[in-house]
Structure formats: structure tokens, C-alpha cells
Amino acid sequence: MSSRSSKLFVISGPSGAGKGTLVARVRGRLPHLGLTVSATTRAPRAGEVDGETYHFLSDAEFTRRIDAGEFLEWAQVHDHRYGTLASEVDRNLSAGRSLILEIDVQGALAVRERFPDAVLIFIEPPSMKVLRARLIGRGSETDESLSLRLADAERECALASAYDVRIVNDDLDRATDELIRVLTSYERY
């Protein structure tokens, strides 16, 4: 029997790079992996479920939780606040489960401070042109939020060198296989 150690994986990358798509596929094939549900002040998109996609909070409730010390990390991303609830991480790690945090670059670097053994994985789009096409294809953005995400993408990609692993999400099947190989190899350490 192969032995496995529980690991904290952090996955970042610009909006539209395909993080959510890749994580959903990987979890289908590696069901032992936990995923934290972050909190956000942004409004739900069509099909997003409160408590599953995110905990959708009002600005006042988000601030209350910051003041109560409930966040492991939180950051302003694009035009809203997003944060990882410490309780979500503790619940998984204390059960000995490996866990994925899908969070932005500021959050990733804050998590590394708290958990130096965390494995930071950056998902890159093949190009900015493809990224733009994916964001438009997702149908989730207004002109304004699209421009904001593309401008933020340049800044985020500039920090990719701080990550342990970089994966280009070109072909979805290939990128999924690569991510699975990375996750399972770190769990075997």
C-alpha cells in the first residue's frame, strides 16, 4: 500500500485561466482531496450556490468576521473581498485530508507564511488573447469587469515565479493530467 501524507495545495492564476474547471476535474478523479469554500462579498453568478461555490457575505458581515479573527487570510481581489475561513482549513487538516485552496496571489503568499510546507501551484493561460476569449466565452463579465480582470491578470502572471509549480492550461485533458501528477507526487513525499 502506498503511503500518503496530507498536504496543503494552493492554486492561483488569473481569472479565466481555468482554475475552477481544472479543480473540479481533479477532484472527480482524486475524491480524497478537500476543497475549502471561501467567503466573498461579490454577488453570486448564475448557477452559483451559497455555501458551495462561496459563502456569499454582505460587506458588513465580512468585516465582522475579519474583526472576529475568523480568516486565515483575506484580500481585495478585483473589486471585492475574498477570504479563507480558518475553520475550513482546520476541519480538513485535522481529519488528515489534503486540501486545495483556490485563492489569489496575495492570499497564496500569506498562506505560505503560515504553512511553509504548502505547495503553491500557478495555472497559466496559453496567452492573454486566449484568456480574454475564455472570459468572454464564460459569459460572466460585464465590459468593465472584463477589463479589470485582464489588467489584474498581467500583475498576477508577473508573480508566477514565486510559485513551486507552473502549469499552462492549454489542452484541458493534458493540463488536468499534469495537475494530477503534481498533486499525487507531492502527497507521496
Specify the residue, 159 or 168, whose C-beta has the smaller distance to ligand 5GP: 159
Q: Which of residues 105-134 bind ligand 5GP (CB under 6 A)?
A: 106-107
Answer yes or no: are the C-beta atoms of 119 and 9 closer than 8 Å: yes
What type of residue sits at position 168? Answer: V
Using alpha carbons only, how large is the chain's radius of gyration in Å?
16
**DSSP code for 94:** H
Q: Are 36 and 44 in contact (CB under 8 A)?
A: no
Question: Which of the choices ligand 5GP, ligand ADP, none does residue 84 contact, using the CB cut-off of 5 to 8 A by kind?
Answer: ligand 5GP
Work out how close the CB of 57 gets to ligand 5GP at its nearest, in angstroms, rounded to a whole number. 11
The DSSP secondary-structure symbol of 22 reads: H
- Say whether residue 169 binds ligand 5GP (CB under 6 A): no
Which partner from the list ligand 5GP, ligand ADP, none does 107 bind, CB cut-off 5 to 8 Å by kind?
ligand 5GP
Give least dist CB 28 to ligand ADP, A.
Answer: 14
One residue of 9, 82, 122, 186 binding ligand 5GP per CB under 6 A: 82
Quick check: helix, strand or coil at residue 142?
coil
Least gap, CB of 140 to ligand 5GP (angstroms): 7
What per-residue string of b and e applies to 37-74 under the rule 16 or more CB within 10 Å gives b? ebbbbbeeeeeeeeeeebbbbeeeebeebeeeebbbbb
- 83, interface contact from ligand 5GP, ligand ADP, none, CB < 5-8 Å by kind: ligand 5GP
Residue holding cell 473540479?
Answer: 24
In the bound complex, what is the minimum distance in angstroms from residue 50's beta carbon to ligand 5GP? 13
Smallest gap from Cβ 159 to ligand 5GP, in A, equals 12
Q: Which residue ranges make up the site for ligand ADP (CB under 6 A)?
A: 13, 15-21, 134, 137-138, 169, 172, 175
Residue 125 binding target from ligand 5GP, ligand ADP, none, CB below 5 to 8 Å by type: none
Contacts of residue 123, defined as CB under 8 A and 6 or more positions apart, other chains included, come to 11, 12, 13, 17, 18, 19, 22, 167, 169, 175, 179
